[in-house]
Chains A and B, each alone.
Chain A
Amino acid sequence: MTLSQASLQAIGLTLELATISTVVLLVIAIPLAWWLAHTRSRLHAPVHALVTLPLVLPPSVLGFYLLIAMGPNGPLGQFTQAMGWGIFSFTFTGLVIGSVIFSLPFAVQPVHNAFEAMGRRPMEAAATLGASPLNAFFTVAIPQARSGILTAAILSFAHTVGEFGVVLMIGGNIPGQTRVISTQIYGYVEAMDYPQAHWLAASMLVFSFAVLLALAALRRQPARLL
């Protein structure tokens, strides 16, 4: 006995979700982390708290509010309907939105730390050498923070793969659209199909261990891996 067709489909969908979410997260997290590391705005503390919030909130809270927000009477749902996009609950797009919010702290914090550790010196040096701020950002700041960015990418990807509560609440468990590995395992366990649950759960365990192992190796020897 090996992984069933349904399990393979769930694995494919999970990898797709994690990849897209990671890309979106990096696009949002890098500028956000830069702003957090350098701003003197009074908004710094509230924004920092807001970004960290998903770390503290249970997924059931996040999922429940997302379900209400995305619904036809919620603010997000009203907006998406007005734009002619329909409602995002029970769709792959909805899962990406949920994953991005849920994993945001995991993407922002490593990059934030990297930018802070770098300080202002390298950017000032680049400016005296005649580089425009944008140019300096891409040629100096990003390469300097690459270890933090890579950590953010790995954590975002792994955290999205391991996501359960939010997906369960807003997904609707539709095969090929919103049924990911974690909800599939849950379904097998609840349906008392333990052999299938074991196969999938064991794969997940091995995957998670491999990711954390890679992360640990990365932290020890950043120079050789990058």
Chain B
Amino acid sequence: MKKLLSMLTIGASLVALVPQTASADTLAVAVAANFSAPMQKIATGFEAATGHTLQIAVGSTGRFYAQIQNGAPFDVLLAADTTTPEKLVKEGLALAASRQTYAIGTLVLYSQNPSLVDNQGDVLKNGDFSKIALADPKLAPYGKAALQTLDALGLAKTLEPKFVYGESIGQTWQFVVTENAALGFVAGSQVASLDTEATGSHWVIPQHLYAPLRQDMVILNRAKDNQAAHALVKWLRGSEALGIIKSFGYGIDTATVDP
């Protein structure tokens, strides 16, 4: 009798577990390198609130694209651009309706040297440095924006011999922080994630010098019926996430914010 009772309790608790496991999902999320730090923070809140688990892969958008095309098991992509999610939608690999801007990046000229970068960008005109780092314009949106900025200032040609290219904005940051390059064009989110804002010097590039760095997210086909994926996309447009995104120096596309 006792045995039967304990078996019944186990059975009952198993039944009780079933609906819970069905609603708590594990999501594979591909995140652009520049959004890594804010995403970690957002994930903590999302997981606590929903019970879902996020598996975050950080990398370059171009590589994610190649991987997704070849069947990589990602549920949601947070890209560094708008063209990659658009392409995935066109190719039938992602949900058109889920595509929206989650952040607008800011470009910053940064140096570890506290007196090198002034708040007008005159350091670029003086050219008194040996190497300037930027992300490869062919690979990274921030690199493209850096080149647009230098073009707008009429300095791209003169400074080109001093360019060193990071394969991503993450590597560009590494070059600048280790001072192998005296200064470099990095993401505002990277400067914002520094522990001490006192070190180094930076210039936030005026928005009119480069095309807006809109970063879009999209739900991938395999997760089209996955409620957790839809919940994450909604969460990223919610007030808690938006607060975190803004705190890292990103702009917000106010037109698409959920009420």
Q: Which residues of A contact B (CB under 8 A)?
A: 64, 67-68, 70-73, 86-87, 89-90, 168-169, 172-174, 183, 186-187, 189-192
Contacts and interface: CB of A to CB of B under 8 A. Distances in A.
Contacts of A67: 174-175, 178, 180
Given A87-B130, A190-B60, A174 B66 contact: no
A72 B180 contact: yes
A190 B165 contact: no
B62 interface: yes
Contacts of B167: 168, 173, 183, 186-187, 190
Interface string B145-170: 00000000000000000011111000
B179 A72 contact: yes
Contacts of A186: 167
A59 to B, nearest CB: 14
A45 B192 CA distance: 47
Contact of A87 (B138, B139, B171, B180): B180
Contacts of A71: 178-180
Interface of B: 60, 62-63, 65-66, 130-131, 133, 136, 138-139, 163-167, 171, 174-175, 178-181
A50 B178 CA distance: 25
22 contacts: A67-B178, A67-B180, A72-B180, A86-B130, A87-B130, A89-B180, A90-B131, A90-B180, A169-B171, A172-B164, A172-B165, A173-B136, A174-B163, A174-B164, A183-B167, A187-B139, A187-B167, A189-B66, A190-B139, A191-B62, A191-B138, A191-B139
Contact of B66 (A68, A172, A192): A192
A73 B179 contact: yes
Contacts of A189: 62-63, 66
